[in-house]
Amino acid sequence: MPNLYERLGGENAVNAAVELFYRKVLADGRIAQFFDGVDIDQQIAKQKSFLTMAFGGPNNYTGADMRNAHKRLVAKGLNDSHVDAVIENLNYTLRDLGVPEKEVKEVAAIANSVRDDVLNR
Amino acid sequence: MLQFEDRSVELRLGETVLEALERAGIDAPSSCRSGNCQTCLHRVVEGVPPPESQVGLTKGQKALGFFLPCVCLPTSPLRITRPDDVGARRDAVIRAIDPLAPDVIRLRVDADDFAYRPGQFLELVADGDLRRHYSLASHPEDDPFLEMHIRLHENGRMSRRLGEFKPGDRLHVAGPSGTCFYEGVHQDQRLLLIGAGTGLAPLYGVLRDALKRGHLGPIRLYHGARSRDGLYLDEELKALSRTRAHVDYRPCLLDPDAPAGGDVAATALHGEQDVKDSAIFLCGGENLVKRLKRDFFMRGVSMKNIRSDAFTPSG
Ligand SMILES: Cc1cc2nc3c(=O)[nH]c(=O)nc-3n(C[C@H](O)[C@H](O)[C@H](O)COP(=O)(O)OP(=O)(O)OC[C@H]3O[C@@H](n4cnc5c(N)ncnc54)[C@H](O)[C@@H]3O)c2cc1C
Ligand code: HEM
Ligand code: FES
């Protein structure tokens, strides 16, 4: 059985999802402020990293990396409700792309599994 | 096998360029180490990077040799530099300085062997340490000089210095840099160029390059200015759009009474509802560029189709 990343379509799936996902995030008043001020091109590259990870793809991030990447945001008030919102937008993006519910749930579970690191607890 | 700037770096079998740089004690940033986040971006100045180390980069970046060291296993010798390395300074001599508007000059300088793409920018160096970026409006195949359009700021250091320069005076140039040029555009794609003030300089370079390369799709150029004087290429661009049926020039005078704000960004956003498949170039002040980039992206334009240069003040 191919792994999740392969079932989703690998790098092509990440490329197909990244702009859709990032538009949803920027349009979401609950979380848009965390992405403000950073150049869109750079953010899109970072969000590719996020999606690759959430899709179960190859990445070398450690828990400590996730803590560091979001430390600045936690200082600005990042909490559980924001993680929920990001996962919600991720779910909508995958459904827009016609990804089956089973895979949508698996992706959400991976994203959810790093919640404590992202929130630096 | 691997050279970083002027020093040679040992590359072990199966090792990525990033790992080799780190082992050599070179301060190289990284994050994902798997080719996604682009934190490790560097540039090849001699040699050809393997294609898998350029996945996800724009056509413009690829053409300039940018690559991702964390996923680069070289198959041939490479010499690389940091991404913002502008290379050696070169001598330049002022050929002409002419007014284009009360606060805008056209500066033409002669410099040997300065290869560039119209729309890129260079670093202009005066008196050894005064350095500012300026975009190139000239075309390397048509013009024997480098042409810049420079707005003179009342208290600007380079602005004041430029006011004193005369033809024959010497300065230095370095670069070029930037990926705001005609690359990765389809010949019959719609081309949308939007700029304010001297943001016209790179757009004018891109426009000329597009025409020279036989661009067939419709081209629309918006130029915004605060006053009529500021539309400093008005006559020339009007003449051009009369002789070239597919070129449409839209001068935009700032109109504070207009309902939507009345600047070139508001005018262009209002006039360009169907932009999804256009190749878009945005140049000028930071606020203008940021706003248009974001709004066009939110309207469904892929970032692959948006190229921009923000004239961020230095320091
Ligand atoms: C990629 C890039 C490309 C550029 N291309 C061009 C170009 O083609 N033509 C061009 O004219 N400029 C261009 N610029 C801007 C240019 O590099 C200088 O920032 C500008 O000429 C001011 O330099 P200065 O030394 O005269 O002023 P400085 O001494 O640097 O600044 C003095 C004061 O002037 C004011 N000031 C400076 N810049 C601005 C501004 N943009 N808007 C409002 N106030 C300002 C500020 O109050 C500042 O404190 C570009 C910048 C970048 C980053
Ligand atoms: C749900 C779990 C999450 C995962 C798995 C995740 C993953 C990632 C990854 C891999 C990066 C790139 C890090 C780098 O290479 O620099 C990143 C960056 C980022 N993340 Fe998250 N993230 C999560 C939640 C969130 C949330 C909830 C927010 C805000 C609402 C957020 C905002 C950001 C921002 C703004 C960056 C860019 C940081 C920078 O530019 O330095 N992330 N994230
Ligand atoms: S470290 Fe992320 S692309 Fe190289």
Does B34 contact A at CB distance below 8 Å?
yes
Residues of chain A with Cβ-Cβ distance to B56 below 8 Å are 15, 45, 48
pLDDT-derived band at A105, boundaries 50, 70, 90: very high
Q: CATH code at B76?
A: 3.10.20.30
Span from the CA of B183 to the centroid of ligand 3 (angstroms): 24
Q: Is the pLDDT of residue B260 over 70?
A: no
Q: Is the pLDDT of residue B70 over 80?
A: yes
Whether B163 and B256 map to the same domain: the answer is: no
DSSP A7-35: HHTHHHHHHHHHHHHHHHHHH-TTTGGGG
pLDDT of residue A39: 85
For chain B, strand residue ranges (E) read 2-4, 7-9, 42-46, 66-67, 78-81, 90-101, 104-110, 121-126, 130-135, 146-151, 170-177, 191-196, 219-225, 247-253, 279-284, 306-310
Ligand 1: residues with CB < 6 A are: B 121, 132-135, 148-151, 153, 155-159, 198, 201, 285, 309, 311-314
**Which residues lie below 8 Å from residue B260, measured CB to CB, with a gap of 6+?**
B266, B267, B269, B270
Whether B149 and B116 map to the same domain: the answer is: yes
pLDDT digit string, tens, across residues B235-248: 999 999 999 999 99
Q: From the list B34, B55, B56, which residue is nearest A60 (CB)?
A: B34
Last-in-domain residue among B81, B112, B146: B81
Whether B157 and B199 map to the same domain: the answer is: no
Q: Is the dihedral of CA A28, A30, A31, A33 positive or negative?
A: positive
Q: Exposed, middle or buried, A119 (CB in 10 Å: 0-12/13-18/19+)? A: middle
Q: Which atom of ligand 1 is nearest to the CA of B151?
A: 11
Judge whether B97 and B165 are in contact, CB under 8 Å: yes
Is there a domain that residue B16 lies in?
Answer: yes
* Probe target for ligand 3 pocket from B16, B17, B37, B66, with the most ligand atoms within 8 Å of CB: B37
Residue B290 C-alpha, separation from nearest chain A C-alpha, in angstroms = 8
DSSP B188-217: TS-EEEEEEGGGHHHHHHHHHHHHHTT--S
Rounded CA separation B247/B21 (Å): 48
**Which residues lie below 8 Å from residue A95, measured CB to CB, with a gap of 6+?**
A104
Whether B76 and B94 map to the same domain: the answer is: no
- Give this prediction's pTM: 0.92
Span from the CA of B199 to the centroid of ligand 1 (angstroms): 11
pLDDT digit string, tens, across residues B248-259: 999 999 877 776
**Which residues lie below 8 Å from residue B265, measured CB to CB, with a gap of 6+?**
B194, B196, B224, B288, B291, B292
Last-in-domain residue among B46, B81, B116: B81
Complex confidence, ipTM: 0.92
Q: From the list B36, B293, B302, which residue is nearest A49 (CB)?
A: B36
Domains of chain A: 4-118 (1.10.490.10)
Does B30 contact A at CB distance below 8 Å?
no
Rounded CA separation B192/B278 (Å): 7
Q: Is the dihedral of CA A22, A24, A27, A33 positive or negative?
A: negative
Average pLDDT, chain B: 94
Return the residue of A nearest to B293 by Cα. A40
Residues of chain B with Cβ-Cβ distance to A44 below 8 Å are 303
pLDDT of residue B144: 96
Q: Which atom of ligand 1 is nearest to the CA of B135?
A: 8
Q: Specify the 3-state DSSP secondary structure of B30.
A: coil
Return the residue of B nearest to A12 by Cα. B56
Beta bridge partners of B106: B98, B149
pLDDT digit string, tens, across residues B1-37: 899 999 999 999 999 999 999 999 999 999 999 999 9
Does A59 contact B at CB distance below 8 Å?
yes
Last-in-domain residue among B81, B98, B117: B81
Whether B59 and B128 map to the same domain: the answer is: no
Whether B216 and B271 map to the same domain: the answer is: yes
Cβ distance of B294 and A27 shorter than 8 Å: no
Helix, strand and coil percent figures for chain A, each rounded to 5: 75, 0, 25
Mean pLDDT value of segment B125-151: 96
Cβ distance of A40 and B31 shorter than 8 Å: no
Whether B170 and B76 map to the same domain: the answer is: no
pLDDT of residue B113: 86
Judge whether B237 and B249 are in contact, CB under 8 Å: yes
Domain containing residue B199: 191-311
Question: How many structural domains compose chain B?
Answer: 3
**Which residues lie below 8 Å from residue A50, measured CB to CB, with a gap of 6+?**
none
Residue B19 C-alpha, separation from nearest chain A C-alpha, in angstroms = 14
pLDDT of residue B98: 96
Query: Which long-range CB contacts under 8 A does B208-213 form with residues at least 24 apart?
Result: B208/B118, B208/B139, B208/B142, B209/B117, B209/B118, B209/B119, B209/B139, B209/B181, B209/B182, B210/B182, B210/B185, B211/B244, B211/B247, B212/B139, B212/B141, B212/B142, B213/B182, B213/B187
Mean pLDDT value of segment A104-114: 97
Strands B146-151 and B104-110 turn out to be antiparallel
What DSSP element (H or E) covers A2?
none
Whether B304 and B195 map to the same domain: the answer is: yes
Mean pLDDT value of segment A102-112: 97
Return the axis-axis angle of helices A101-113 and A40-54, rounded to nearest 10°: 110
Taking phi over 0 as left and psi of -120 to 50 as alpha, with beta for the rest, B62 belongs to alpha
A55 touches ligand 2 (CB under 6 Å): no
Whether B196 and B295 map to the same domain: the answer is: yes
pLDDT digit string, tens, across residues A5-29: 999 999 999 999 999 999 999 999 9
- Residue A95's Cβ-side half-sphere holds a number of Cα atoms within 13 Å equal to 10
The percentage of residues in chain A with a pLDDT greater than 90, rounded to a whole number, is 87
pLDDT-derived band at B174, boundaries 50, 70, 90: very high
Q: Is the pLDDT of residue A89 over 90?
A: yes
Return the residue of A nearest to B303 by Cα. A41
**Residue B80: what are its φ and ψ, rounded to 5°?**
-125, 160
* Probe target for ligand 3 pocket from B16, B17, B30, with the most ligand atoms within 8 Å of CB: B30
pLDDT-derived band at B131, boundaries 50, 70, 90: very high
pLDDT digit string, tens, across residues A57-88: 988 899 999 999 999 999 999 999 999 999 99
Q: From the list A26, A48, A69, which residue is nearest B36 (CB)?
A: A48
